[in-house]
Amino acid sequence: MSNVLSSLQVVLGADTAAFQQDLGRASQSANDNFGSIGAAAKTMAVALAAAFTVDYFTDNIKKAIDYADSMSDLAGKTGIAVEQLTAMEYALNFSDATLENYTDGLQKLTVNMVASIEGNKDLSSTFQKLGVSVVDAQGNVRQSKDVFLDAAEAISKMQDGAVKTDLAMKLFGKSAGPELVPFLNQGKEGIKELTDEAQRMGAVVSTDMANQSAQFNDSMAKMGYAAKGAWNVIAQQLTPSLNAMASSMASGASDGEILEKTAYGIGVAFHAA
């Protein structure tokens, strides 16, 4: 009996050792396979991230170019420097006002400044009551952007209400004036802090950048027209041949005898099948 047990122990021990060895190999194989899968997944993730990064990069570069181009156009229309426009757009955003409100208001303010100098007593009185001068010490007309900031400082100290809104409408226009009131309430220093922050944030576009962007978009547009012109030339060369082929096909289709023979041939083929 003891011999049988001894033999059984030897067999079981051998089987157990073999099983453990097989299990170890299986475990190593699984680890190797999972390692390969992990490496492949990492490679795929890197590739996807790279593709996403390239698309994201190019998309945002184009957006930046288009924005600078639009600021160049707006500067040309309004006579306001690109740097001033982009800095103000940043600052206006925090008062729910728009760049259009600012440009419209500034243009109206410029008209009112000129009218005041030319003798409009009502406007002259308005500027005087605000303590805002439209001319410098030498009697030259001040820049409207500087007068705007002085007016903002004066208005910011007024109590909110109809009087303030009416004054804003008078200086900056019926549409832009009321929209600008929350922005004007920040005063000269508050607005300057935001425009300085815009510079630090990189939100201010330079005139050179705007001009370069406009030139780039113009060149791209010209390339598009050049490609269109090339296709026009190709189409012009092919049109006579295409017309001849289309006419022949139309003539053949309208020939009753040809159509009849074709139909008969199709019918025979189906019958034979």
Does residue 56 have a pLDDT over 80? Answer: no
For the chain, give the percent of residues with pLDDT over 90.
Answer: 53
pLDDT of amino acid 19: 44
For the chain, give the percent of residues with pLDDT over 70.
Answer: 71
CA distance 172 to 101: 9
Q: Average pLDDT of 30-53?
A: 59
CA distance 254 to 249: 9
What are the backbone dihedrals phi and psi of residue 134, each rounded to the nearest 5 degrees, phi first? -95, -5
- pTM here is 0.67
Give the residue with greater pLDDT, 49 vs 191: 191
Does residue 9 have a pLDDT over 80? Answer: no
The pLDDT-based confidence of 32 (bands split at 50, 70, 90) is low
The pLDDT-based confidence of 158 (bands split at 50, 70, 90) is very high
Over residues 65-95, the pLDDT tens digits come to 999 999 999 999 999 999 999 999 999 999 9
Nearest to 126 by CA among 108, 104, 145, 100: 108
The contacts of residue 86 (CB under 8 Å, 6+ apart) are: 71, 198, 203, 204, 205
CA distance 115 to 132: 15
pLDDT of amino acid 23: 47
Does residue 192 have a pLDDT over 50? Answer: yes
pLDDT of amino acid 54: 63
pLDDT of amino acid 21: 55
Over residues 196-247, the pLDDT tens digits come to 999 999 999 999 999 998 898 889 888 888 888 888 888 888 888 878 777 7
Sign of CA dihedral 144, 150, 154, 160: positive
